[in-house]
């Protein structure tokens, strides 16, 4: 059957059929660079990096483009507050993004286009929409005639009547310039102390939605395979992208629309966002938590499932990743004492092939990373069984270890270069063990002790508390 993708546009899973055989054109809406990315933003970046890695694992060449929005109201406001130019602010946080995502082992996109490098392309794009009657100039602004695009609302499953009710409640200077409350800005007239460019409609700057339409079509073509982003971008951003792009090109903009769900925080499962003020930046989080653990937590949850992000999430990821790393490292040690071959140990090959088929089946089902990593846990279980055998061949150990390494790369974990547990990770596990012992959950307490022992961490329980040290 091949890979199936849940398409937001059709609201069902569809077989993936690329425009070009064995190639994938994929566009991800990147960050607006006025601050460090929060962990919710990082989820989107990691989720679609994992999707990209799986496509490559399955033999596809992926042309992956993700933009930087470096002209925006928030950027202008923040730059003015800090007394620097918008370019200086954007440059600062683009570098911060690269540093943070580098720690999370996110592969750089094939191209990271910036809005400021595409102003002429944006002006040309808007001019075509005006010539075709889909847009109009009004007092230095340019707006898109939303009602003229008949399929508008199809992606977000919203009706024009529903949108009209919400739009009619908006008032202000911009609304007075519009022919219709539903219309949205393609170009904005320059205001005092704002960065601007010359255009046929006077000095101004691009609207937010037009940027991605221009950069996606310029670098990937009028029709692309996959357009991806966070769930919060479905409306109005992606809805407007479809309207603009298809009005200009008379072509389908994207065949598949993929959206990752929110991270949630607190007992009520509230969405994490900067507007709600309940966020933590990836930059700050990775000062206290291993980036490898953060990556593992983000990449092994199904991208369409809301993900609670809390201490429990980090503890579980630390434990599970530690178990995988321990098995991998123990395999390296066992290779030194295993025999070259054994006559009667051929069943392992069928067993390993079955596990690989199960992994592919799960991941082909809309990149179900949660089920995929469960198969990896089964692989680790089998590997550990072989490691405990008195006689085992190098061939078996090597095959399982290499397969484990290959599968974990899809989740962004490089076992061959994997770091040891950080001190704070060890402290967190000991704290969890202490809690388990108080609650008389001795199975969990022993599990954590054994995991730490496998990682070379020696525990000593004293009246003053648990002390630990690394074995030589």
Return binding residues for Zn(2+).
Answer: 29, 212, 237, 241
Q: Rounded to an integer, what distance in angstroms lies between the CA atom of residue 372 and that of residue 408?
A: 10
Q: Among 237, 179, 241, which residue's Cα sits nearest to residue 216?
A: 241
Q: Rounded to an integer, what distance in angstroms lies between the CA atom of residue 218 and that of residue 372?
A: 35
Angstrom distances, CA of residue 193 to CA of 32, 81, 85, 142, 190:
20, 12, 10, 20, 9
Q: Are 18 and 32 in contact (CB under 8 A)?
A: no
Q: Rounded to an integer, what distance in angstroms lies between the CA atom of residue 225 and that of residue 276?
A: 33
Report which DSSP code applies to 136. E
DSSP 194-255: ---B--TTSSEEE-HHHHHHHHHHHHH-SSEEEEEEEGGGIIIIIHHHHHHHHHHHSS-SEE
Structure tokens at 254: 């994207």
Instruction: Give the residue ranges of the annotated binding site for ATP.
Output: 274
| 328-345: b (≥16 Cβ within 10 Å) or e | bbbbeebeeebeeebeeb
Neighbours of 371 (CB within 10 A): 16
Structure tokens at 73: 């109201």
DSSP 341-401: --TT--HHHHHHHHHHHHHHHHHHBT--HHHHHHHHHHHHHHHHHHHHSSS-BHHHHHHHH
Place of tokens 């928030």: 74
Q: Are 31 and 166 in contact (CB under 8 A)?
A: no
Instruction: Give the residue ranges of the annotated binding site.
Output: 29, 212, 237, 241, 274
């Amino acid at each position: 059957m091949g890979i199936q993708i849940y398409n937001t546009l059709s609201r069902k899973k569809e077989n993936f059929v690329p425009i070009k055989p064995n190639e994938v054109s994929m566009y991800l809406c990147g960050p607006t660079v006025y601050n460090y990315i929060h962990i919710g933003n990082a989820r989107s970046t990691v989720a679609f990096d994992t999707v990209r890695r799986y496509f490559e694992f399955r033999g596809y060449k992926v042309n992956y483009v993700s933009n930087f929005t470096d002209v925006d109201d928030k950027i202008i406001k923040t730059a003015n507050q800090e007394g620097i130019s918008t370019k200086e602010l954007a440059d600062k946080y683009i570098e911060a993004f690269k540093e943070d995502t580098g720690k999370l082992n996110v592969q750089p996109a094939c191209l990271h286009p910036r809005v400021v490098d595409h102003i002429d392309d944006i002006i040309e794009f808007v001019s075509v929409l005006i010539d075709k009657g889909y847009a109009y100039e009004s007092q230095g602004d340019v707006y898109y005639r939303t009602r003229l695009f008949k399929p508008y609302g199809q992606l977000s499953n919203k009706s024009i009547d529903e949108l009209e009710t919400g739009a009619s409640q908006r008032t202000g200077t911009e609304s007075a310039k519009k022919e219709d409350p539903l219309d949205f800005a393609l170009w904005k007239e320059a205001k005092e102390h704002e960065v601007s460019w010359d255009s046929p409609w006077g000095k101004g700057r691009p609207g937010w939605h037009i940027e991605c339409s221009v950069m996606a079509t310029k670098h990937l073509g009028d029709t692309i395979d996959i357009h991806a982003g966070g769930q919060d971008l479905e409306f109005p951003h992606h809805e407007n992208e479809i309207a603009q792009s298809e009005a200009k090109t008379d072509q389908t903009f994207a065949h598949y629309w993929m959206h990752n769900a929110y991270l949630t925080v607190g007992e009520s499962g509230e969405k994490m966002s900067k507007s709600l003020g309940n966020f933590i930046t990836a930059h700050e989080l990775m000062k206290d938590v291993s980036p490898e653990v953060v990556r593992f937590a983000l990449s092994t949850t199904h991208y369409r499932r809301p993900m609670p992000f809390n201490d429990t999430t980090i503890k579980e990821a630390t434990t599970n990743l530690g178990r995988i790393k321990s098995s991998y490292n123990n395999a390296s040690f066992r290779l030194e004492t295993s025999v070259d071959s054994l006559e009667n140990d051929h069943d392992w090959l069928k067993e390993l092939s079955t596990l690989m088929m199960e992994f592919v089946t799960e991941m082909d089902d809309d990149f179900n990373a949660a089920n995929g990593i469960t198969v990896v846990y089964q692989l680790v279980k089998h590997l550990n069984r072989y490691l405990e055998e008195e006689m085992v061949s190098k061939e078996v150990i090597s095959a399982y270890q290499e397969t484990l390494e290959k599968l974990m790369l899809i989740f962004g974990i490089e076992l061959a270069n994997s770091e040891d547990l950080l001190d704070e990770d060890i402290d967190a596990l000991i704290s969890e063990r202490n809690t388990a012992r108080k609650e008389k959950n001795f199975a969990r307490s022993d599990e954590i002790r054994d995991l730490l022992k496998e990682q070379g961490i020696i525990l000593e329980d004293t009246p003053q508390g648990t002390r630990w040290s690394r074995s030589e």
